[in-house]
Structure 1
Amino acid sequence: MKPQSMLFTIYGEYVRHYGSEIWVGSLTRLMGEFGLSEQAVRAAISRMLRQGWLESRRVGNRSYYSMSPRGQKRLDEAAARIYKVEASGWNGKWCITSYTIPETQRNLRDHLRKELNFLGFGMLTNSTWISPNDLEERVKDITEAYNLTEYVEIFTAEHLGWSDPKRLVEKCWNLDEINKAYREFINMYHPRYEEMKKKLKAGREIPDNECFVAKTELVHYYRKFLFIDPDLPEELLPDVWLGKEADELFNEYHNLLHPGAVRFFEEVYEAVPVGK
């Protein structure tokens, strides 16, 4: 597990619910549960500061770190997709983003593609990306943040031909590969979930730090689906879709581990002293 990626998981799953700010000593102890050294944690924090994901402040001789507004927005988006509620029916509209970004701004073009991929867009052609979800405002935010408004056009449109909607989906996303990834997740975590249930049913006490590690690793693994699953409405999914089964397993195992994991986090967590 990469330290920077794990920091995103810990902030998103825990710190954001406790004032969004934490002492670096607490962070290094939490990350130490995964075998990460203090040096590795501090190096990851420095990278996230340079990249604009984190903000820092000193109180006395202690350093405290919080997510920047940009980082907080990313965590909110991720949480909304990981812990999604049942969506209403699809309205048949597509959000379309088309861009003509000059080669001199190639790095910004790459950033935009990464952002569109994270939002769940699929590439229809080299510079035209589509999504069946209402993402117009998010694309506006991103293009404004990167100063790309003169190169990007955003549409909400109906598809009139010629592929049927599911065929259009097949052109833009490899659902077989996503299904395969969900199968791997189920095969890995279903036995762990069943084993944990057996232990608890038998009255065995599970140490809180073990719950913390297991829950955090579960969320950390499941976060990867934010980058590969476009979160398509049910009308566009194939007849065999393992995403729903994986979601149910994730939620059940998460709920099982949550109380002990939170107790351990609260034991380690140190916020800024009141009034500082």
Structure 2
Amino acid sequence: MTSIEEQADNSADGERVNRRPRSLIVSFFGTYARDVGGWIGVADLIALMGGLDVDAPSVRSSVSRLKLRGLLASERIGGAAGYRLSEEGRRILAQGDRRIFGHRVAEIRDGWVLVVFSVPESERRRRHALRAQLTRLGFGTTTAGVWIAPAHMTDQARSTLRDLGMDGYVELFHATHLDFSDLTEAVATWWDLPALQSMYQEFLDEHEPVLGAWRRGRGADGPERRATAFADHLRAVDAWRRMPYLDPGLPPELLPEQWAGSRAARVFFDLHALLRGPGLEHVREATGPAGPR
């Protein structure tokens, strides 16, 4: 699963609040829909999203936009209107699964990948798109036209740049830092570490208390508890899934002390382990049999 709505919506940051229902629906398709056959009726989706305070008009608007972007396909089963992931949607989510749930932390000895590019002034829009995509992949900037990330990002960068038709403008290099700057200080200039720290702290402020409540035994087992698990889990996935795209897994020894990212990762994966099972049970109970998939 990935930040699929980045491909579905290139709107300004000011629309972030308006995009939240769509973001939750993308997270739902990535987290649950594929495990219940890949198709869900509109009525069932509205009911499930109602548990996260998303109203019916927002659900209908969101799925319509995702369909227009080619990420969902409409399909009727047994007379019921519904949606399933398109082939492109499945591809994007599968690619994102590896980044989000296989979040990798780099080691200094692994080295770095450098992306060096030169885009003619006459193609400024391509240059902007290239920079935007490298940012989404978690690359930092060393200087104009030279971007850097841990070496484990090489294959994803190569694949993404080819998919975008940008491979004719870039060169990739594997690099080892030798001299002369202190690498910790350099990393602090290549990435906006305070912004990343703030991002992780916001996640912790919202979701660490939720984890604590579940560890203390949140509610008696039953449909209501499973519905709560679904809502808490989907909110956590939706908040977390962008973060591995902004932080490429920098080596811990190069990061500030008390780095919130390490704790945030533990909280997310503990919530995922605790809640995905009962959350999936809730989705299966809510959707029920809907004919062949």
Q: What is the TM-score of this pair, normalised by structure 2?
A: 0.79
Which one of the candidate residues 242, 250, 275 is aligned to 2:260?
242
Partner of 2:71: 53
Which one of the candidate residues 21, 27, 33 is aligned to 1:15?
33
Structure 2 counterpart of 1:126, one-letter code:
A
Structure 1 counterpart of 2:265, one-letter code:
D
> In 1, Cα distance between the equivalents of 2:181 and 2:202?
31
Map residues 137-216 of structure 1 onto 2, 5 A cutoff.
137-200=155-218, 207-216=225-234
> In 2, Cα distance between the equivalents of 1:71 and 1:108?
24
2:272 maps to 1:258: no
* SS in structure 1 of the partner of residue 74 of structure 2: strand
* Cα offsets for 1:109-138 (capped at 9, x unmatched): 443333322222112223321101322332
> In 2, Cα distance between the equivalents of 1:27 and 1:37?
11
Any unmatched runs of 5+ in structure 2? Answer: 1-16
Structure 1 counterpart of 2:231, one-letter code:
V
Which one of the candidate residues 287, 290, 293 is aligned to 1:269?
287
Map residues 56-75 of structure 1 onto 2, 5 A cutoff.
56-59=74-77, 61-75=79-93
> In 1, Cα distance between the equivalents of 2:220 and 2:60?
39
Structure 2 counterpart of 1:84, one-letter code:
G
Decide whether the 8 Å contact of 1:119 with 1:230 is kept in 2.
yes
Structure 1 counterpart of 2:43, one-letter code:
G
**How much is the aligned-residue C-alpha RMSD, in angstroms?**
2.9
Which stretch has the larger CA shift, 78-87 or 132-141? 78-87
2:61 maps to 1:43: yes
Any unmatched runs of 5+ in structure 1? Answer: none
Q: What is the TM-score of this pair, normalised by structure 1?
A: 0.83
> In 2, Cα distance between the equivalents of 1:140 and 1:222?
24
Structure 1 counterpart of 2:211, one-letter code:
Y
Structure 1 counterpart of 2:23, one-letter code:
S
Deviation at 1:10, TM superposition (A): 0.6
2:78 maps to 1:78: no
Partner of 2:147: 129
Decide whether the 8 Å contact of 1:22 with 1:65 is kept in 2.
yes
> In 1, Cα distance between the equivalents of 2:165 and 2:289?
36
Which stretch has the larger CA shift, 104-113 or 257-266? 104-113
Decide whether the 8 Å contact of 2:75 with 2:81 is kept in 1.
yes
> In 2, Cα distance between the equivalents of 1:204 and 1:15?
23
- Percent of pairs with identical residues: 28
Q: How many residues align?
A: 274
Decide whether the 8 Å contact of 2:104 with 2:249 is kept in 1.
no
Change (3 A) 1:184 1:122: same
Structure 1 counterpart of 2:165, one-letter code:
N
Deviation at 1:265, TM superposition (A): 0.7
* Cα offsets for 1:73-122 (capped at 9, x unmatched): 43234333333366574434211112233455444444333332222211
Which stretch has the larger CA shift, 116-125 or 12-21? 12-21
